[in-house]
């Protein structure tokens, strides 16, 4: 028998063979499963013969569900928390529930398994000793570009999630902010039938995805190489713009105007101008 606790259970992100035996055992033994979408999870439960009662816990009812879950724990029952796919709380609901259960004095037990961001990092061939996970970027281009500009000097590998209807727009915004030579891995439909992991400089990567509509479908993890030396990378177009301005203006003015045109930082362009 399981002790009264909240078990945070990871489920497959695609391939059902990635379900761990421990996860199956826990889901069979708990008295209640708190699922992001009970209709979605019903298919997983049916596949593994799990008949445990489920309740929905999603971003719109997390606060209301805390009392239900804590009451179960107080009665000596055990509860599992799952998301639609992967590890709960990673760009999914669950933080409010975990926090509430801990504040009520009950144990939270992780049952590890798949996470799309770790799966992508393991196969991208980009540095993994230090990385930062940024989740989903903003829906609108202006806000998205500002987020990317704030990360332009980040030397750690960057990891994002993206949807199919925004993947090209987001990559194009990355190209504008990071430069077309920044190396990026796009991991699509991980562990599923049409899994694709493609790694190239942004300029070539965008051309490849644009030429094949099939590569614009599914769920995406985007892994971006960190900036070199903590500075934004200057692509050929940015350097060309800088050279044109330098032919007519003093260095400071040329760097300032080039920064407005390219979106890069003035200090980076100023240093590049001194090095020309």
How far, in Å, CA of 21 to CA of 104, rounded? Answer: 29
Strands 79-82, 32-35: parallel, antiparallel or unpaired by DSSP?
parallel
Structural domain boundaries, residue 95: 6-114
Q: What is the mean pLDDT of the chain?
A: 94
Residues 85 and 139 in one domain: no
Distances, alpha carbon 235 to alpha carbons 103, 176, 262, 270, in Å: 50, 10, 10, 15
Residues 15 and 84 in one domain: yes
Question: In terms of domains, do 137 and 181 share one?
Answer: yes
| The predicted structure's pLDDT at residue 263 | 81
Residue 216 sits in the same domain as residue 266: no
- Does residue 187 share a domain with residue 101? no
Residue 230 has pLDDT above 60, yes or no: no
Confidence of residue 101 (pLDDT cuts 50, 70, 90): very high
Asked if 11 and 85 touch (Cβ cutoff 8 Å), the reply is yes
pLDDT tens across 23-41, in order? Answer: 999 999 999 999 999 999 9
Give the DSSP per-residue string, 190-257: TTSTT-EEEEEEHHHHHHHHHT-GGGGSS-EEEEEPPPGGGSPPP-HHHHHHHHHHHTTS-HHHHHHH
Q: Which of 84, 114, 144 is the last residue of a domain?
A: 114
Residue 267 and residue 221 in one domain = no
What pLDDT is recorded for position 34? 98
pLDDT tens across 159-176, in order? 999 999 999 999 999 999
1 lies in some domain: no
* Residue of higher predicted confidence among 28 and 268: 28
Given a cut of 80, is residue 233 above it in pLDDT?
A: no
Does residue 35 share a domain with residue 56?
yes
- Sheet containing 79-82: order of strands: 54-56, 32-35, 79-82, 6-9, 108-111
143: domain CATH number is: 3.30.950.10
Domain of 40, CATH number, reads 3.40.1010.10
Residues in the chain: 276
Question: Structural domain tally of the chain?
Answer: 3
């Amino acid at each position: 028998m399981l002790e009264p606790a909240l078990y945070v259970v990871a489920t497959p992100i695609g391939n059902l063979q990635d379900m761990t035996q421990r996860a199956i055992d826990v889901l069979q033994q708990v008295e209640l499963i708190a699922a992001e979408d009970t209709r979605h999870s019903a298919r997983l439960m049916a596949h593994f013969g799990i008949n445990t009662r489920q309740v929905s816990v999603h971003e719109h009812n997390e606060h209301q569900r805390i009392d239900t879950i804590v009451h179960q724990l107080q009665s000596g029952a055990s509860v599992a928390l799952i998301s639609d796919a992967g590890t709960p709380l990673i760009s999914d609901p669950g933080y409010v529930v975990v926090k509430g259960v801990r504040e009520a004095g009950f144990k939270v037990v992780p049952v590890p398994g798949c996470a799309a961001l770790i799966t992508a990092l393991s196969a991208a061939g980009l540095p993994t000793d230090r990385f930062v996970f940024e989740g989903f970027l903003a829906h609108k281009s202006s806000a998205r570009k500002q987020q990317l500009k704030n990360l332009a000097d980040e030397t750690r590998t960057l990891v994002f999630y993206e949807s199919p209807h925004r993947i090209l727009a987001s990559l194009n915004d990355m190209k504008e902010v990071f430069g077309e030579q920044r190396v990026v891995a796009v991991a699509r439909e991980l562990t599923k039938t049409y899994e694709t992991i493609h790694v190239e400089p942004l300029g070539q990567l965008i051309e490849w995805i644009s030429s094949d509509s099939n590569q614009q479908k599914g769920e995406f993890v985007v892994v971006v190489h960190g900036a070199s030396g903590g500075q934004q990378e200057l692509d050929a177009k940015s350097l060309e713009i800088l050279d044109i301005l330098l032919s007519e203006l003093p260095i400071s003015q040329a760097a300032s105007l080039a920064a407005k045109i390219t979106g890069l930082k003035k200090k980076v362009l100023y240093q590049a101008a001194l090095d020309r």
